[in-house]
């Protein structure tokens, strides 16, 4: 029997908190071994954070202050891609997928930390607003993922064995599956266990 190292990767879409709740209903409470946040959602994740990834590392200074002011646990490392403002992060990694927004960099970091199973929450790669607590983005204004989807599609075969997405999008007809969930599939307890 293999032992899987499970990573929760948090993105900043409006569905992030619903995705986490749904993952815990499906996979069990706090099923993860590693938590990696992408961009400013790391400020608002109230539990232990292992790694914080961004293609915009110059923002870590303000983000880490905000996380501390909210009383959330310390002990994480900040990550960026090699050659991208390395002086603003604790660790610079080779971005093995070369794009795909900070969410795909966060997947790179999870794999760098030894994750063998990665579940995305809040990374639908859809035209939706950011999570409500974001102080970086205009409330209610949709983010445009179109240019970033290419890298997700390009690396889908490589990602699909290790990465699944909880992300769904809420629309007029209720919840529907997102771009990343359609591309990579949704996690299951059997998959998470290595089946």
So where are the chain's domains?
Answer: 6-192
| Look-up of token digits 């997947």 | 107
Predicted TM-score (pTM) of this structure: 0.93
HSE-up of residue 46 (Cα within 13 Å, Cβ side): 4
Report, as an integer, the average pLDDT of 60-85. Answer: 93
pLDDT reported for residue 1: 42
| Look-up of token digits 């590392």 | 57
pLDDT class of 20 with cuts at 50, 70, 90: very high
Strands 163-165 and 168-171 come out as: unpaired
Please check the confidence at residue 12 and state whether its pLDDT lies above 90. yes
Tokens at residue 168, please? Answer: 């769904």
pLDDT reported for residue 10: 98
Tens digit of each residue's pLDDT (9 = 90 or more) over 154-184: 999 999 999 999 999 887 888 889 999 999 9
- The Cα angle at residue 130 between residues 187 and 151, in degrees rounded to 5: 55
Please check the confidence at residue 118 and state whether its pLDDT lies above 90. yes
């Amino acid at each position: 029997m293999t032992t899987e190292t499970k990573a929760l990767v948090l993105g900043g879409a409006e569905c992030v908190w619903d995705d986490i709740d749904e993952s815990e209903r499906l996979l069990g409470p706090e099923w993860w071994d590693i938590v990696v946040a992408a961009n400013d959602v790391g400020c608002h994740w109230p539990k232990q954070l292992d790694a914080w990834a961004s293609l915009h590392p110059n923002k870590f200074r303000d983000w880490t202050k905000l996380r501390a002011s909210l009383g959330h646990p310390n002990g994480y490392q900040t990550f960026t891609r090699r050659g991208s403002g390395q002086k603003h992060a604790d660790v610079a990694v080779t971005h093995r997928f070369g794009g795909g927004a900070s969410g795909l960099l966060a997947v790179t970091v999870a794999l760098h930390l030894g994750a063998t199973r990665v579940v995305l929450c809040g990374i639908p790669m859809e035209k939706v607003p950011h999570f409500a607590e974001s102080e970086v983005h205009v409330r209610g204004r949709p983010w445009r993922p179109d240019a970033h989807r290419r890298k997700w599609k390009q690396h889908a075969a490589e990602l699909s064995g290790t990465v699944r997405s909880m992300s769904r999008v809420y629309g007029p007809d209720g919840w529907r599956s997102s771009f990343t969930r359609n591309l990579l599939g949704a996690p299951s307890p059997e998959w998470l266990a290595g089946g």
